């Protein structure tokens, strides 16, 4: 693979950010570059003795995303430019993304069949324990599979299209499985707790921490630090970022809805063609069409998710450019404070999940008691009226 100007510029910029040679090499190897080419690029830069690295701030945008044209590095992209770039990124990687969707769809089907085999157990104690363990295993494996799928999606979006390979993307998803899973847990716990605290904090947390997975993939930030790096990039532009995220999500929802309507129109019109031409409708055709539509939607949903991920990635790159492509400094006090808050959030959510049905049960019991008391009062009143009538 030839040494490209984008490769040299990327290495130059990462060195200017203070990133070590080993970290840069690991990043490039994970994106499909050969070690010999990476070493040759370092040697070329060493011979050239570059003195200006700040002029390269635009290069990683196209080098990593492959479709950043029209999105300036000195400001946030407009809504239209952002949506256009997101769809363009997915279109360039459509083949690989479809293969990834099929791959994880097959894995989900295999997992479902495996776990379904444990549901056919008897009513004995062993059967009940087996059913409980299979349910717990189902939750854990489904979570890991979803995180793996998310990791491969993020790598498919951030890897240059020339370097994008199916199996290397799948392997990279495995490589960050634990780190991405932990970030997802922290992100979900903080956002959900924020929504429980009267909605507004949840919206803020959702906006602040939206870029944490890319802080992991792009800048090797893990755990609570990835969330705080994302927050540091967003602060000062919270409302602008929120508006763009909402616009991106709405655009994807509109496109998804139009595709879904088009598919269902096809499914509705196809049997009507048989009926209008007096052809007998094959048995099971309607069921097959509905099932086929569901499978097509299962393939479309990851692609629409990829558009959202691509848009968030472009925003992440733009925010980094606004900060001079330098990773923000996160103090130890910040990390400890937010780690404590995340720990509280992780404790609050299970307690809330347990307490909610208990509270609802008490509410229902209280309503039943009140209803019974009203019925008793009505009977006593009826009895008193009867006594008055018999003893005037």
Both 318 and 383 in a single domain? no
Both 282 and 310 in a single domain? yes
Residue 50 is assigned to a structural domain of this protein: yes
As a whole number, the mean pLDDT across the chain is 79
Q: Does residue 301 or residue 31 have the better pLDDT?
A: 301
Sequence-separated contacts (24+) of 261-270 with Cβ below 8 Å: 263/293, 263/296, 263/297, 264/293, 267/292, 267/293
The pLDDT of residue 128 is above 80: no
Question: How confident is the model at residue 370, as a pLDDT?
Answer: 82
Overall number of domains in the chain: 3
Q: Does residue 373 or residue 171 have the better pLDDT?
A: 171
Residue 210 is assigned to a structural domain of this protein: yes
Question: How confident is the model at residue 108, as a pLDDT?
Answer: 85
Residue 67 is assigned to a structural domain of this protein: no
CA distance 244 to 210: 12
Average pLDDT over residues 234-246: 92
CA distance 375 to 378: 5
Both 315 and 198 in a single domain? yes
CA distance 387 to 392: 8
Q: Cβ distance 78 to 57 under 8 Å? A: no
Can you tell me which residue has the tokens 């070690």?
A: 35
pLDDT in tens, 305-330: 999 999 999 999 889 888 887 888 88
Residue 66 is assigned to a structural domain of this protein: no
Both 13 and 140 in a single domain? no
Q: Which pTM does this prediction carry?
A: 0.69
Both 29 and 136 in a single domain? no
Sequence-separated contacts (24+) of 43-49 with Cβ below 8 Å: 44/3, 44/8, 45/8, 45/11, 45/12, 45/15
Can you tell me which residue has the tokens 């899973």?
A: 181
Both 119 and 228 in a single domain? yes
Residue 127 is assigned to a structural domain of this protein: yes
Average pLDDT over residues 169-174: 92
Give residue 353's domain range.
Answer: 348-392
Residue 279 is assigned to a structural domain of this protein: yes
Both 214 and 285 in a single domain? yes
Both 365 and 217 in a single domain? no
Residue 335 is assigned to a structural domain of this protein: no
Both 154 and 284 in a single domain? yes
Q: How confident is the model at residue 4 (pLDDT cuts 50, 70, 90)?
A: confident
Both 157 and 231 in a single domain? yes
The pLDDT of residue 58 is above 50: no
Both 282 and 371 in a single domain? no
Residue 341 is assigned to a structural domain of this protein: no
Q: Does residue 161 or residue 32 have the better pLDDT?
A: 161
Q: Cβ distance 90 to 300 under 8 Å? A: no
CA distance 163 to 384: 89
Both 188 and 268 in a single domain? yes
């Amino acid at each position: 693979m030839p040494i490209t100007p984008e490769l040299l510029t990327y290495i130059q910029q990462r060195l200017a950010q203070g990133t070590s040679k080993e970290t840069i090499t690991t990043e490039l190897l994970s994106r499909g570059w050969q070690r010999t080419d990476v070493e040759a690029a370092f040697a070329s830069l060493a011979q050239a003795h570059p003195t200006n690295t700040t002029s390269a701030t635009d290069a990683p945008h196209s080098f990593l995303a492959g479709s950043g044209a029209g999105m300036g590095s000195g400001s946030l992209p407009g809504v239209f430019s952002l949506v256009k770039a997101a769809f363009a990124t997915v279109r360039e990687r459509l083949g690989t993304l479809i293969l990834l969707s099929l791959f994880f769809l097959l894995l989900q089907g295999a997992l479902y069949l495996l776990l379904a085999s444990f549901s056919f157990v008897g009513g004995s104690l062993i059967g009940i324990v087996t059913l409980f363990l299979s349910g717990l295993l189902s939750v854990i494996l489904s979570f890991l599979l979803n995180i793996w799928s998310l990791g491969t999606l993020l790598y498919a979006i951030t890897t240059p299209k020339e370097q994008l390979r199916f199996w290397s993307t799948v392997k990279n998803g495995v490589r960050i499985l634990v780190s991405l899973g932990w970030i997802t847990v922290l992100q979900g716990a903080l956002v959900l707790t924020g929504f429980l605290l009267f909605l507004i904090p949840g919206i803020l947390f959702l906006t602040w921490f939206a870029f944490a997975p890319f802080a992991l993939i792009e800048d090797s930030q893990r755990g609570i630090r990835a969330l705080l790096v994302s927050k540091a990039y967003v602060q000062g532009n919270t409302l602008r970022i929120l508006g763009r995220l909402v616009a991106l999500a709405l655009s994807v929802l509109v496109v998804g809805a139009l595709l879904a309507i088009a598919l269902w129109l096809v499914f509705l019109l196809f049997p009507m063609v048989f009926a209008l031409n007096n052809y007998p409708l094959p048995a099971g055709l309607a069921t097959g069409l509905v099932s086929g539509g569901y499978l097509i939607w299962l393939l479309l949903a990851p692609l629409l998710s990829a558009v959202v991920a691509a848009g968030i990635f472009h925003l992440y790159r733009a925010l980094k450019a606004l900060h001079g492509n330098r990773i923000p400094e996160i103090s130890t006090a910040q990390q400890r404070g937010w780690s404590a808050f995340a720990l509280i959030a992780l404790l609050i959510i299970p307690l809330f999940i347990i307490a909610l049905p208990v509270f609802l049960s008490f509410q229902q019991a209280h309503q039943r008691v009140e209803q019974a008391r009203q019925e008793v009062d009505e009977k006593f009143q009826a009895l008193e009226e009867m006594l008055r009538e018999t003893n005037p």
